[in-house]
Amino acid sequence: MNKLFQELKRRNVFKVATAYAIAGWLIIQIIVAIEKPLSLPDWLDTTVIILVGIGFPIALIIAWAFELTPDGLKKTDSVESTDTINTFKASKSKKLNKIIISVLSLAIIFLIVERLYFANNTSSSDLDIGSTSIAVLPFADLSPQGDQEYFSDGLSEELLNILAKVEDMKVAGRTSSFKFKGQNENLTLIGNELNVNHILEGSVRKSGNRIRITAQLIKVEDGFHLWSETYDRELTANNVFDIQEEISRTVLNELKVRLLPQEETEIKSFPTKNLEAYNAYLKGTQLVANRRPEDIQQAIEHYKNAIALDKDFGLAYSRLALAYGFLIEYGGPSIEETTINMKQNVDKALQFNNNLGVAYRALGYYKQLDIIPNSDEEALKAFQKGLEYEPNNAYIYNHIVHIYQEYDGEKAYQYILKAHELDPLSDVISSNLADFHIGNEKYEEGLGVLDDLIKRSPKFANAHNNKAELLRSKPYGDLVGSFKTIYNAYKKDSLNRILLNGLTRAFIDLDMIPAADYYLNISMTHYRESLNTIGLFVNINSIKGNAAINIQLLEGFKERFGEVSNRPISDVLSYMYLISGNSDKAKTIIEDTFPDIVNPDYQPSRNSFEDQNDINQIGVLLKYAVIADLEGNTSLKQNIASKLCSLFDTLKPGSIMSAAYNTKEDHEMICAALQGNAETFANTLRNIYFEKNHKYLWKQQQIESYYLLYKDTPEVKAYEKEVLDDVHKARAEVITYLKTQGDWKSEWEVE
């Protein structure tokens, strides 16, 4: 054996092996490090490892069988020992030592650079996503009674949330991942649709005081199981969270993802030590995902129960605050009561745990609500803070979209694309993406997104409503098709607020006010506190000339909400007094409430947060210009016209002015009214309706403040007759359709 060892040493086999091993390891590490940044194929590192492994024994065989001499490469047996040869061997041995030292030095340098640079180079913009990607599918409930779906869904969502906190990963959103619940047969197709390269799936089985959780990590490309494990433990809160941490860590290790210190802390943290509280929390989270008012109410009760069981349960406070916010959006109890509850629970959540991304999301959502004016900058700060803790939270990006779209459409568009990339099957995000396509005049793309969304989620009301609005807007102008779209959706979900209100608007655009009244009354019965429904109520009363009813309602709101509502409500109040013929009262309200905006030196703008916070500026200036015209103050009217039309010309693409003035057509009508004459104004309206096929909210135009300037002129009266002739043709077709459906009511008859 000693003789063999000496011979191996003489032939430099050990040195060749050492040099090859170090060089091979270094090559592999370099390939692994550059593969993702350079977008090299996933199979490259595997191929290199195999080649290096195959080359190792070949290198040893060559080292044993051949020897490098001054005369070239020769078989070792044929090399005679001479002084020249011995000297050359000594020189070659020293060269091998130098090679080994050099390669080892390179390896050490690489390790230092890789540790210091790659591990710390994690700072990125909000819109960067890690190339390592994963989706967590809902774990199957295999419990004997099949009654633990909320728990298996909750476990899946919590695992998703843990992984989503890791900045260097892309994690598919909950909505998209849960679309494939119970459809785990073809994981490659699911992975491709979610645009991820790994999938985590599993099952949960609860029986008595025992729990068994099975998890498996799968590579989408080939369906290969990278890892699988079964955890069989006593059912306690600590054990559940321990399992979640173990699964998360194993997945991250398998995917070679390094954790920052903050991420380490987040993975180790337990939201509660009370299993009953955690169960209640999971039940609430499962219900609130449906976004139905009755489910949200039940979810609130579950969250309250969770908090009663654990007063320090920060995550439950956060989710409870969000649930209250959803009530405002989807219909519920009084607005002021809901916002108060929302704020109290946000504060509690941050008090118990100020490292929760969902808590900052709830805080931003609270700041973003319409009832809280001039707070978008604060909302954005809260959302950005939330992204620090949950960089993969698609819904935080979606919230940010609604802030930037007010003054920077390009940036808003980038954020909606990011949200959609993270959660491509989210109904809400897909609907907003369609809106942005439409807002950027990519109508076919927008319609395509809506059609796909309706096919995928036929119960999602927003998609039907948005499609109906698009169909009667440019470039389609299809009043009948639009009506049928919203009507057929409503028939399948007759108490849905969005569909009720959408159907009401469709009837308004068909000049069928009695029918619109009928459906609005249903909406007011069930959603009296919905801001959307209240706005529609005010709108119809304005069309019907019932400004007095609106004034009484708005004065009541000012008393309810106090100073916080003064500017937005005063804006609408001044308009009501103006259309009712009391321009003096309207002027007084405007000058008392908005002295900054009516100041002659005021310059409207929408390209910063400060400008954005003046959400009332366009409407206020319009009404003030109309009042100036009524008073014969032509110079003031022209001054305002110059300000507004200059603003419209400089507005960034895709940005909106406010909910009331958000299209190019709005801008054209405003400038034609303020800068032109009756003929110019009428021709502009005619071009928008007939040439551009923009028939959406044509009735709304007739109650705008600027319309008052020319409403009684022969030119505008002629335009109105042309429009009514076209609208009534569509109306007749809709009436026939409703009668065939058995849904026509005699009291809806109109002349």
Q: What is the 3-state secondary structure (H, E, C) of 494-554?
A: CCCHHHHHHHHHHHHHCCCHHHHHHHHHHHHHHCCCCHHHHHHHHHHHHHCCCHHHHHHHH
Contacts (Cβ under 8 Å, ≥6 apart) of 581: none
Q: Which amino acid is at 696?
A: Y
Burial class (CB in 10 A: 0-12, 13-18, 19+), 302: buried
Contacts (Cβ under 8 Å, ≥6 apart) of 623: 574, 575, 578, 586, 590, 705
- Start-to-end CA span in the chain (Å): 113
Q: What structural domains does the chain harbor?
A: 2-120 (no CATH), 132-270 (3.40.50.10070), 630-740 (no CATH)
Q: Which tokens is 276 given?
A: 């009953």
Query: For residue 104, what pLDDT is reported?
Result: 61
Query: For residue 198, what pLDDT is reported?
Result: 92
Burial class (CB in 10 A: 0-12, 13-18, 19+), 222: exposed
Query: For residue 129, what pLDDT is reported?
Result: 44
Residue tagged 């998890």 (tokens): 215
Query: For residue 576, what pLDDT is reported?
Result: 96
Q: Is 731 helix (H, G, I), strand (E, B) or coil?
A: helix
Give the angle subtended at the CA of 448 by the CAs of 413 and 501, to the nearest 5°.
80
Q: Which tokens is 369 given?
A: 């609500």
Q: Which residues pair with 432 in a beta bridge?
A: none
Cis peptide, bond prior to residue 138, ω within 30 of zero: no
Q: Which amino acid is at 742?
A: G
For the CA atoms of the chain, what is the radius of gyration?
34
Q: Which amino acid is at 414?
A: Q
Residue tagged 């948005």 (tokens): 466
Contacts (Cβ under 8 Å, ≥6 apart) of 453: 427, 430, 431, 434, 460, 463
Burial class (CB in 10 A: 0-12, 13-18, 19+), 8: middle
Residue tagged 């020897």 (tokens): 67
Contacts (Cβ under 8 Å, ≥6 apart) of 631: 583
**To which H or E segment does residue 428 belong?**
helix 427-439
CA distances 18 to 25, 99, 385, 555, Å, are 11, 10, 50, 87
pTM of the prediction?
A: 0.76
What sign does the dihedral 559-565-569-574 (CA atoms) show? positive
Q: Which residues pair with 233 in a beta bridge?
A: 211
Query: For residue 612, what pLDDT is reported?
Result: 46
Q: How far apart are CA 34 and CA 69, in angstroms?
A: 38
**To which H or E segment does residue 41 belong?**
none
With contact defined as beta carbons under 8 Å apart, do 540 and 515 qualify?
no
With contact defined as beta carbons under 8 Å apart, do 523 and 500 qualify?
yes
Contacts (Cβ under 8 Å, ≥6 apart) of 363: 321, 346, 350, 382
Q: Is 210 helix (H, G, I), strand (E, B) or coil?
A: strand
3-state helix, strand, coil in the chain (%, to 5): 65, 5, 25
What are the φ/ψ torsions at residue 202 (nearest 5 degrees)? 175, -165
Q: How many CB atoms lie within 10 A of CB 273?
A: 14
**To which H or E segment does residue 90 belong?**
helix 83-113
Give the angle subtended at the CA of 587 by the CAs of 585 and 591, to the nearest 5°.
120
Query: For residue 49, what pLDDT is reported?
Result: 79
Q: How far apart are CA 158 and CA 282, in angstroms?
A: 9
Q: How far apart are CA 523 and CA 527, in angstroms?
A: 6
Contacts (Cβ under 8 Å, ≥6 apart) of 37: none
Q: Is 596 helix (H, G, I), strand (E, B) or coil?
A: coil
Q: How far apart are CA 138 and CA 551, in angstroms?
A: 51
Q: How far apart are CA 342 and CA 372, in angstroms?
A: 12
Q: Which candidate, 129, 85, 687, places its Cα nearest to that of 392?
A: 129
Cα 366–chain centre separation: 17
Instruction: Taking each helix axis as running N to C, give the angle between helix 427-439 and helix 394-404, from 0 to 180 degrees, rounded to the nearest 10.
Output: 30
With contact defined as beta carbons under 8 Å apart, do 314 and 266 qualify?
no
Q: How far apart are CA 405 and CA 606, in angstroms?
A: 10
Q: Is 411 helix (H, G, I), strand (E, B) or coil?
A: helix
Q: Which tokens is 109 given?
A: 């340098």
CB neighbour burial string for 593-606, b if at least 16 within 10 angstroms, e if fewer: bbeebbeeebebbb
Q: Which tokens is 532 given?
A: 């959307």
Q: Which residues of the chain have pLDDT under 50?
A: 78-80, 83-85, 88, 116-130, 610-613, 657-659
Q: How far apart are CA 355 and CA 342, in angstroms?
A: 18
Residues 26-34: contacts with CB within 8 Å, 24+ apart?
26/103, 26/106, 26/107, 26/110, 27/52, 28/52, 29/107, 29/110, 29/114, 30/110, 32/256, 33/114, 33/118
